[in-house]
Amino acid sequence: MGASFDIGYVFSFLPKLLDTLGVTLLIVAGSLLTGIVAGFLVALPRMYKIPVLRALSGVYLSFFRGTPILIQLFLFYYGLPELLKPLGFDLSRAPVMLFVILAYGLHTGAYAAEMIRASVEAVDRGQVEAAYAAGMTPYQALSRIVLPQALGIAVPVFSNLVIALLKDTSLAFTLGVMEMTGKAQTLGTLTQHFVETYIALALIYLVISFTLEKVLLAAERRLNRHEAREERVVRRFALGKRGSYRAALADIETGKGGGI
Amino acid sequence: MQLDISFIWTAFRQILGAIPTTLSITAVSVLVGFLIGAVTALARLYRVPVLSQVSSAYVTFIRGTPMLTHLLLIYFGLPMIIDGLAGHFGWSFRSASIPMIGFAYISFSITAGAYMSEVVRAGLLAVDKGQTEAAHSVGMTTPQALRRILFPQALAAALPNLSNSVIGMLHGSTLAFAVSVVDINAKAQIVASTNWKFFEAYLAAALIFWGLTVLIERSSAWIEKRIGAYNRGGVA
């Protein structure tokens, strides 16, 4: 199987793989934008308990969290043109990237919705009551009081979400998009130095996830600077209690557990 | 090309045969992963000299790289190592005798181990320190305290994360197609390309995965209710 191991190839593959980093990051950025918009659309009916829409967003969440991203990619790629054809849209010539970003975006949207809901709920109820008491409209209360506070709570979950998305993009090659993993496979096949390519690939992913994590940690610190320094005590797992919920949320991996 | 509803059912029945493969990959990776996770989590919590640094590096590396790269690295790297050693020591064992699914088992277990390590660690940290102190003060040794007092409570605390990880590994098992193991996803691909009905086949596969996931979620919620029964507040 392939030629013998030569560490030199790892270094010569790194710049070649980095050429396609832009494609990977484009998928991440595009899906993140789509995902956050979709997340808000799905989370709002659930937070405000709007009758029918709430049930629909429940189905959306269940489906996108209940099926593997790989299956979703194929479903979108093969299914969307067929579903939209009767409506007069011809997607048979649409770029693959569109399907990829849409699939990753809606997948991320399901996790983003839960993130938004959980962090908004973690903001103390008294904050909203005080906003109403001061005469704000519901929209003002949400945008001026709740969301800025929820943002700080959401960052650790968001960080996990982005890193999970980055790792998920390694599947886009199955639809023929030339991102980093696809490039690595091509390089491996060309040179027969598979192990070296995948080591180089893993290193790049590792560096990006590590950087993302550190950047978002700094963002979290900054967003939460209004908070009094809490003593980080070991907590019991009674999540229902208001006081502990907020702090506990940061420790829990809401969303994707393991995988891909 | 029109959506063929009846073919979804045909595909569904054909894909059902691949469920055992998917479930066995999931079960093996979750079980072995839990063992790896428990060992690495304890090593990190008790700051065992060399082991804790190795564990941290392992968890960071695995969690920072896609599961597909683990699979491909194991698939191409492991035979190299095994054949190299076999050639050196004159073993008769060759990497060619490892079945394809073996690579999936090994690599997914390694992946699951890192995620489980975090789950176990978070679970153990969630148990009040007073519990360990009380166990020690009634004369239990550390292993006894771990087994009798900490683990049962940590399990209850970790259950939601544990079920997330199981679902993550179930969904991750779709990657087995990369080493030509015929799981649900690969079977859907075969059914799709032989009948030229891609959407229907993947729809059937999605329904199966959806059902399995809901099943895991429901049973986890049920177990959570039972296992956390002691933890309710109130007076009665």
**Residue among A71, A194, A237 whose CB faces B209 most closely:** A71
CATH code, B20-183:
1.10.3720.10
Chain B: nearest CA to A194, how far in angstroms? 6
Provide the pLDDT for residue B83: 85
What is the pTM for the complete model shown?
0.85
Both tokens assigned to B49: 């000299």
Using the Cβ of A257 and the Cβ atoms of chain B, whether some distance falls under 8 Å is answered with: yes
Q: Do the Cβ atoms of A258 and B210 come within 8 Å?
A: no
Q: Do the Cβ atoms of B210 and A2 come within 8 Å?
A: no
Residue B116 has pLDDT above 80, yes or no: yes
Residue B147 has pLDDT above 70, yes or no: yes
Size of the A and B interface in Cβ pairs below 8 Å: 172
Interacting residues of B51 by C-beta distance below 8 A, sequence separation 6+:
B40, B43
Give contacts of B82 with chain A, Cβ < 8 Å.
none
The pLDDT confidence band at residue A229, using thresholds 50, 70 and 90, is low
Matching residue, tokens 């992946």? B111
**Residue among A205, A236, A253 whose CB faces B161 most closely:** A253
Chain A: nearest CA to B46, how far in angstroms? 15
Buried b (16+ CB within 10 A) or exposed e, A128-144: beebeeeebeeeebbee
Residue A8 has pLDDT above 80, yes or no: yes
Using the Cβ of A133 and the Cβ atoms of chain B, whether some distance falls under 8 Å is answered with: no
CA separation, residue A40 to residues A87, A148, B216, B221 (Å): 26, 15, 27, 26
The one-letter code for the residue type at B174 is: T
ipTM at complex level: 0.87
The Cα B202–Cα A76 span in angstroms is 10
User: Which pLDDT tens digit goes with each residue over B82-102?
Assistant: 888 888 888 777 777 888 899
Q: Do the Cβ atoms of A209 and B213 come within 8 Å?
A: no
The pLDDT confidence band at residue A233, using thresholds 50, 70 and 90, is very low
User: Which pLDDT tens digit goes with each residue over B176-222?
Assistant: 988 989 999 999 999 988 988 888 899 999 999 999 999 999 999 99
Provide the pLDDT for residue B57: 94
Give the angle B47-B37-A170 at the CA atoms, nearest 5°. Answer: 120
Chain A: nearest CA to B138, how far in angstroms? 21
Q: Do the Cβ atoms of B209 and A257 come within 8 Å?
A: no
The Cα A45–Cα A51 span in angstroms is 8
The Cα B157–Cα B224 span in angstroms is 9
Chain A: nearest CA to B108, how far in angstroms? 9
Q: Do the Cβ atoms of B202 and A255 come within 8 Å?
A: no
A 27-56 residues inside an 8 A Cβ radius of B: none
Provide the pLDDT for residue A230: 54
Interacting residues of A29 by C-beta distance below 8 A, sequence separation 6+:
none
The Cα B112–Cα B165 span in angstroms is 8
Handedness of CA B181, A202, A103, A108 (dihedral sign): positive
Q: Do the Cβ atoms of B60 and A210 come within 8 Å?
A: yes
Provide the pLDDT for residue B232: 64
pLDDT mean over A112-139 = 91
Q: Do the Cβ atoms of A74 and B202 come within 8 Å?
A: yes
Cα B41–chain centre separation? 16
Mean pLDDT, chain A, integer: 84
**Which residue ranges make up each domain of chain B?**
20-183
